[in-house]
Amino acid sequence: MKICLITPISQNIEPYVEVFERKGVQVQKNSVSSDCDFIVGSGQAYINLWEYYHQYFPNIPMVNITLDFYKTVWTSPNPHGYDWGKYKQYLNKCVELWCISNEVITRMREEDIDTNKCHLMKIWARFFDYKKEDIKDNRYILKTIRPYTTDKNYGWLEKACSELNIPLRSPNHKASEEDYRKLIAECSFMCTDYHETSTGGLGLLEGYNLGKISVISDSHYEGAKDYLGDRAIYFNDNSYDDFKRVIKETWDNTPKLNLEECQQFCVNHPTMENNVDFMIERMKILKEE
C-alpha cells in the first residue's frame, strides 16, 4: 500500500510516517503520485495543498484524521488564514473520517457532514517516564492547553485563581520539553476550563500518568471525557460559580491518586502503533469495497 500523507509540522501526526513504513506502507509526506492508494489528510492547515493534489488525481480516494472541528471556527480570529469552508467541502468528499473524539463527530454532524463515515480513533499521547521521587505537589494548578479565546468559558480559570489566590501556570506551548514535564510532575492538579475541545489537551493524560487529577467541563462538547471518563472531576459548564467551587474544593482537598493505577489506565490508552494499525486496517477494508 502507498499513501500520500498531508501534514504540517506536528508532534502527533509526523511520527506516524516511520510506523507506517515499518509496517510496509509507503508514505509520501506532502507529495502525491498516481500510484497512491489514498490521500490522507490531517486537518485544515494544508487544505490548499490537499485541494491541489485532488485536482491532479481526482480518482485517488481521500480519508482524513480529523483533529478539530468547533462551532467557533466560523467566528474565531483566524490569524493563519485557514479556509474552514473548503475544509468542510473536503471532509464531505472523503470516503472515511477518523475522528479523535465524539466532540469532533458531534460538531461535524451539526454542520451536515455525513458522520456515518466517521470512526472514533483516540489519538496517542506522549507519555513520559519520571522518577517517582521527583513527582511532587508544589501547590499550583497547571493548564497546558493553548488559549481558546472565543470559547464561552475563556478566562474562567484565570479569574477563579485570581479570586481564590491560587497559583496558576499556563506555559501555552512555550516551555521546553524538560520544563513542560517538570510542570506536570510538580503541579497539584490540572484543569481545562473550556466548554469545547477535541481532547482537553493531551497534557491531561500525560498528567494522569503521573498521578495528577484534572478538572474539566461536563459539556458534551468537551472531548476530554472520552479520554478520562470517570477519572476526572467535573464542573457544571453553565455555572462559573460551580466551576469556582470545584476549583476551591479540589485545591483545599487535592486527591492523592494511586500512581500504579493511573499508569495502568494509561498503558491501556491507544498507542501510536495502535493508531497506525487501525488506519491500515480501515484502508484495507476500503480497498476491498
Distance separating alpha carbons of residues 115 and 93, to the nearest angstrom: 12
pLDDT of residue 268: 97
Q: Indicate the SS3 state at residue 259.
A: helix
Average pLDDT over residues 120-142: 97
pLDDT band of 289, cuts 50, 70, 90: confident
pLDDT of residue 200: 95
pLDDT of residue 164: 98
Distance separating alpha carbons of residues 93 and 87, to the nearest angstrom: 10
Q: What is the largest CA-CA distance in the chain?
A: 61
Residue 127 is placed in which grid cell? Answer: 507519555
Average pLDDT, the chain: 96
Name the residue with cell 497506525. 276
pLDDT band of 76, cuts 50, 70, 90: confident
pLDDT of residue 16: 98
Tell me the per-residue pLDDT of 235-272, one tens digit each, with 9 for 90 and over: 999 999 999 999 999 999 999 999 999 999 999 999 99
% of the chain surpassing 70 pLDDT: 100
H or E element: which one contains 190?
strand 189-192
Order of strands, sheet of 38-41, starting from the edge strand that comes earlier in the sequence:
26-29, 2-5, 38-41, 62-66, 96-99, 118-120
Going by DSSP bridges, is the β-strand pair 96-99/62-66 parallel, antiparallel, or unpaired? parallel
The CATH number of domain 132-267 is 3.40.50.2000: yes
Distance separating alpha carbons of residues 151 and 71, to the nearest angstrom: 10
Contact 254, 166 (CB under 8 A): no
pLDDT of residue 121: 98
The CATH number of domain 2-124+270-288 is 3.40.50.2000: yes
Going by DSSP bridges, is the β-strand pair 233-235/214-217 parallel, antiparallel, or unpaired? parallel
pLDDT of residue 123: 98
Is the per-residue pLDDT at 74 higher than 90? no
Q: How many residues does the chain have?
A: 289
Average pLDDT over residues 155-173: 96
pLDDT of residue 259: 98
Is the per-residue pLDDT at 79 higher than 80? no
Average pLDDT over residues 16-36: 98
Distance separating alpha carbons of residues 258 and 176, to the nearest angstrom: 28
- Distance in Å from the first CA to the final CA of the chain: 15
CATH 3.40.50.2000 placement within the chain? 2-124+270-288, 132-267
